[in-house]
Amino acid sequence: MSLTLEESAASLSVRDIDVHGVTTELYEGGSGTPILYLHAGEGLRPSAPFLGLLASAGRLLAPVHPGFGVKPRPPSFSTIGDLAYFYLDLLDQLELDKVDVVAADFGGWIAAELAVRSTARLSHLVLAGPTGIKCSDREDRDIADIFALGRAELIELMYADPAASQVGESSLREDFDGLSDDALTSIARSRESLAVFGWSPYMHNPRLRQWLHRIDIPTLVLWGACDRFTLPKYGESFAAAIPEARFEVLEAAGHYPHIEQPERFAEVVANFLEIKSSSVVTGRPS
Amino acid sequence: MRVWQFSEMPYTPAWGVDTESLRVTLPNSNYDPKLGAEIYRRQFENYLLADDLGFDLMSNEHHSTATCLQASTSVILSSLAGSTTKARLLSLGNPIANRPDPVRVAEEMAMIDNMSGGRLEVGLIRGTPAELSSVNANPARMVDRFWEAHDLILKAWTSHDGPFNWEGEFFQHRQVNIWPTPFQQPTPPVWVTVGSASTARRVADEGHVIATLLGGYSSRSTFDAYRARTLELGRPYPKSDRFGYLALVSVGATDEAGLERARLMQPHLDVSLLMPQQFLNPPGYAPVEANVAALKRGAKGSLSTHQQVGSGEGKDVMLGKKLPSLASVKRSMDQGLLFAGSPDSVLQQITEFSRAMGGIGHLLMLGHAGYMSFEDVADNIKLFGNEVLPALRELPEVDEADLAAERDELRRTVP
């Protein structure tokens, strides 16, 4: 971690990648073991410092989910499974193996859906504040209703420090001065696409939890101690459904620990990725 | 011109309880069923009065709101089908992108068409942003869902050779074979409410009636898009019976009385869209481009998914502190949202507005709105029915000579 935050943010390059006819933007940086970062539902924040820090721990690939960027959502994409298969295709196309997947919020839901389908190309899984499963009873929501809350309420629920909601490509800024049209388009399209994939059942797949046992790679579930959008106890349930998954809490962070505590986040992730996958869990050859 | 009397059946006793919201979030503990039952009774009395006077009747549908007790257009119209004899009955309409089962809509509408002896006209509408959360319909991809539901309903009405199959993107049915079939063959007249030129063109393809609701003078471009598309398809210039417009109407014995009554109605424009911002702009309801423009205006910038209406006096009005000023009434009149005054003045305003629209064949008359008493409404309906309606019914198509010039102008714009 030799770079400053500013330097690390500037170190990424971006290109378009076409996967079976679906084109999206791919941010890349660093070298070594591939790290696939799957971004939160509000969209990728290309200027966020944690990306550069991840790029100094390996070869970072941070794609924009189809429908969450400048390009239109593929018309045939409408379920979380479409995104999971898209990323399985992407890993095949790039012929990546022993990939460490790091994912946040809605990206964590995609990562879990991907991993229950196949971990063949994966090495480790880090889920930071993932959504996607149902734990409480039918009259309680595990995930605050992002579509029914105002900006101020969301900031209160999602951030330990409200100031962190006002920087970079945050969707909850008071004003969006200085952001490019492309960045604004990505924010607006992300909000729409989040509804496409997560409106109902709200931000989860009722069937996902029962298949999490299939995840047979070392998994870390990370939670912000101050996350009131999805409570830490939801994270504990998430981790409990994945064999031998670790659960860790980051202090002074809300729903986006990667945004609020980038250095601590990168450090925890890097330490976890050091673990040899063969030393954990089932007998899959590594 | 046909005139369709309409009330949203507002529940004004709950207006002002929450000065930020009339919709979605206002607890229904603010609804008193005893009072509500009386409101329904008086509303139906006024519908029957309008039927007697030669009006046609319109119903709509909204959910979780103190602005409208018509939570089901089918329920209202099935009652009117049995209690009226003359009026045509317009549902405007069925929010078919929000209803999980379009075949059920086709059945209900076919029933009402039979029960009324063929007096039904069926509006298929997208619905306002506030409806989405109340009915848990996904705001994203609504337009695609709307047109698939539309196609399924039309096919259900017009298929008579036994069950057909439907495996669409949004709706699936194995055995569609509705009983009863519509009374009017092949289908009841179909209406679609429209707010944009692109939708108007799509509706023109179908030949349905289009209506704009409180669209003001900008409705002209919507209507012209329909006309241009019709010509583009090689069809005759559409007659005025393809165009409807909804406005508030306040008639008094004198201009002063009509304007004074309009002050009771103006709150409809001021407060009926009051709701938390996130329900006014649910994700995917408005196009990405419109949302980008809204983001550029910052957190306080609003997304105009609706015609901006109202006087800005809303909160005071809701709190019952005062009625809107005459100035705000006149502003609404200038915008073409409200016709008000003596019978002669109102007749003239409507005639001129229709002329400015290139000719409209249907006035959807919000003759009850805001804080009017039921006596006010009855008086409004009687004055209009006796002194304005007869002249409007005889109104000729917009002057042929003018029309020729406009047709030529439109033809020049057609590729």
Instruction: For B161-176, write each residue's pLDDT tens digit.
Output: 999 999 999 999 999 9
Q: What is the pLDDT of residues B267-298, one digit of tens each?
A: 999 888 888 888 989 999 999 999 999 999 87
Q: Other C-beta atoms within 10 Å of A278: how many?
A: 11
pLDDT digits (tens, 9 = 90+) for B333-377: 999 999 999 999 999 999 999 999 999 999 999 999 999 999 999
Nearest residue of B to residue A183, measured between CA atoms: B292
What's the pLDDT at B254? 98
Within 8 A of A199 by CB-CB distance, chain B residues are 136, 138-140, 283
pLDDT, tens digit, 9 for 90 and up, residues B9-27: 999 999 988 888 899 999 9
8 Å CB contact of B283 and A151 = no
pLDDT at B304: 47
Please tell me the distance from the alpha carbon of residue A205 to that of residue A209, in angstroms, as a whole number: 8
Chosen from B147, B278, B281, B300 to mutate, greatest number of chain A CBs within 10 A:
B278
Provide the pLDDT for residue B310.
52
| Distance from the B100 Cα atom to the nearest Cα atom in chain A, whole angstroms | 13
Rounded to the nearest 5 degrees, what angle is found at the Cα of A64, between the Cα atoms of A59 and A66? Answer: 135
| Chain A residues touching residue B292 (CB < 8 angstroms) | 181, 184-185, 188
CATH of the domain at A45: 3.40.50.1820
Nearest to B278 among A150, A193, A196 (CB): A150
CATH 3.10.580.10 assigned to domain B2-413? The reply is: no
The reply to whether residue A199 touches residue B139, judged by beta carbons under 8 angstroms, is yes
Q: Kindly identify which residue of chain A lies nearest to residue B280, measuring between CA atoms.
A: A148
pLDDT of residue B402: 66
Q: What is the pLDDT of residue B275?
A: 87
Q: From CA A188, how far away is CA A118, in angstroms rounded?
A: 31
**H/E stretch holding B411:** helix B400-413
Cβ distance B362 to B9 under 8 Å?
no
Placement of tokens 């390009």 in the chain:
A71
A214 three-class SS: helix
Is the pLDDT assigned to residue B303 strictly greater than 70? no
Which residue in B282, B291, B296 is closest to A147 by CB distance? B282
Nearest to B367 by CA among B1, B4, B25: B4
In Å, how far from its chain's centre is CA B237? 24
Range of the domain at A136: 5-276
Residue of A nearest to B134 (CA): A148
**pTM of structure:** 0.93
Residue A281 domain-assigned? no
Query: Is the pLDDT reported for residue B307 higher than 70?
Result: no
In a domain, A118, yes or no: yes
Judge: A150–B276 Cβ closer than 8 Å, yes or no.
yes
Contact B138 A148 (CB under 8 A): no
Tell me whether strands B89-95 and B56-59 are parallel, antiparallel or unpaired: parallel
Kindly report the nearest CA distance between residue A96 and chain B, in angstroms.
34
Where do the domains of chain B lie? 2-413
Confidence at residue A280, expressed as pLDDT on a 0 to 100 scale: 43
Q: Which residues of chain A have pLDDT under 50?
A: 1-2, 278-286
Distance CA B313, CA B324 (A): 7
> Nearest chain B Cα to A169, which residue?
B295
Query: Across the interface, do B291 and A191 touch by the CB < 8 Å criterion?
Result: yes
Task: Provide the domain count of chain A.
Answer: 1
Which chain A positions have a beta carbon within 8 Å of B136's beta carbon? 199-200
A188: in domain: yes
Distance of alpha carbon A161 from the chain centroid: 20
